[in-house]
Structure 1
Amino acid sequence: MSELDKLTQDTIDEGGVLALLYFDIHGTDKDTMIQLGTGLVQKVLNENGVVFARGEIDEPMEQEDMFSTSLELKILTRDVVSFAEVCGNFSPFSMEILEPQEFKVPVSSMQDLFMFVSSTTHDYKKYIVQKLATPEKGEEYAKNLKARADLGKRLLGRKEGEPNE
């Protein structure tokens, strides 16, 4: 068994995820597309929880002055939350989980996973509202955010045993 195979198996045994992620890349310059694919692999490698990542870029195809290609990225993460974060941050157009065949995820990891999904969704909604809303709707949204933050502070205080206001 090679060192990489041992690392992979040990990581999976400890809750890791081995998967293939697929990305599409489009552009007008073949060399730039290959550089973009290489840069994407490097960015993924720097993500928290990524143990290794290796990418293979298909030969770009030309069609009407544009080039298109795909990148297959084999990735090993230390846990399902790290895997979800990579997917959320980089938006592959498809994925295939290779290992494990079943997940047994602690509640704390599930909470982290759902908080990531929730906060990412919130950030997208906030961005969309700020870009598309009328000034009046934008002010209403800002008030709702403040009320939400105040409620969050109260809930945290209750959780830490502080008296309710």
Structure 2
Amino acid sequence: MAEQKKYSQKELERLIEETTRYGAVYAYLHFDAHGKDEDTVKHSLVDLVDRITKEQGVLYCVGEVLEPYRRGGALKPEGNANAGEKETGKVKLADIESGQNAEKSGETKAGQEAKPGENGEVEGNEASKGKKSGAGNNEGGKGGETGEKDVYSTSAQVTILCNSFIALHQIALRYGLVGVEILSPQHIRMGISDAQSLLLNASQASQEFTAYILQKVLPPEEREKMEEKVRRRADLARQLIEKQAEKK
């Protein structure tokens, strides 16, 4: 494994300045998670950040996860968790910090802790496809007898540098972010082929998510017909994307 490097602030600023001249995008992404178990809620977002660092086109990525708070209770701003850092060509997972006493309690790698359980749920398409039986988006007493006071919530801010707007767009589609702030560049420019690829990617993601939902509600015979139709459309979309890539 190649030696991992951590950027200094000046090196990171230089990387951002140089890459955004040629189509890269530097942004903040925001995510949230809700569930009945405090640790599971936090670790579900730690896992999400870990997976984002490995996505294609990600040049740099670091996430900050707030300590979960009980719905109706006070937020714990002092207990942040840094998770997932990827630098150009290399992946580095930052340690999870559980409050101000993190250094005393020892180091825990994000990749080891990032195991979402059954009681926590991350918002978004990617997370919704796993096996989860937690509260998720439940408000008040919906979906459970324990009510709102037993639901924990947290959020994460991910600082990310992607090599293109299309790469950032794919992450937004896959992980269902709840907020975004593009920091640089001030204007997004793309050619016709990139714009077409972006639209095709959006359409394919929409079809996949729709298919996932329908699989849960359709009877077996209707499900087979739907799956065959989705496969045909996916193959056609893949061919169109490949043709666009060949033209570049």
TM-score of the superposed pair, with normalisation by structure 2:
0.54
| Equivalent residue pairs, number | 154
Identify the match of residue 189 of structure 2 among 100, 104, 108: 104
| Change beyond 3 A, Cα 1:34–1:131 | closer
TM-superposition CA deviations, 1:55-94 (whole Å, max 9, x none): 1122321131221111111111000110001101110111
Tell whether the 8 Å contact from 2:32 to 2:45 is kept in structure 1 after alignment: no
Q: 3-state SS of the aligned residue for 1:104?
A: coil
Structure 2 residue aligned with 1:65 = 150
Q: 1:17 deviation in Å?
A: 1.0
Structure 2 residue aligned with 1:51 = 59
For structure 1, the 5+ residue unaligned runs are: 160-165
For structure 2, the 5+ residue unaligned runs are: 1-8, 72-148, 244-248
Q: 3-state SS of the aligned residue for 1:58?
A: strand
Which deviates further from its counterpart, 9-18 or 51-60? Answer: 51-60
| Change beyond 3 A, Cα 1:36–1:139 | closer
Which deviates further from its counterpart, 141-150 or 99-108? Answer: 141-150
Is 1:4 the counterpart of 2:89? The answer is: no
Q: 3-state SS of the aligned residue for 2:12?
A: helix
Instruction: Map 1:1-165 to 2 at 5 A.
Output: 2-63=10-71, 64-134=149-219, 137-138=222-223, 141=226, 152=236
Structure 1 residue aligned with 2:121 = none
Q: 3-state SS of the aligned residue for 1:116?
A: helix
Q: 1:136 deviation in Å?
A: 6.5
Structure 1 residue aligned with 2:115 = none
Bigger radius of gyration: 1
C-alpha distance in 1, partners of 2:227/2:59?
Answer: 39
Which deviates further from its counterpart, 1-10 or 82-91? Answer: 1-10
TM-score of the superposed pair, with normalisation by structure 1:
0.78
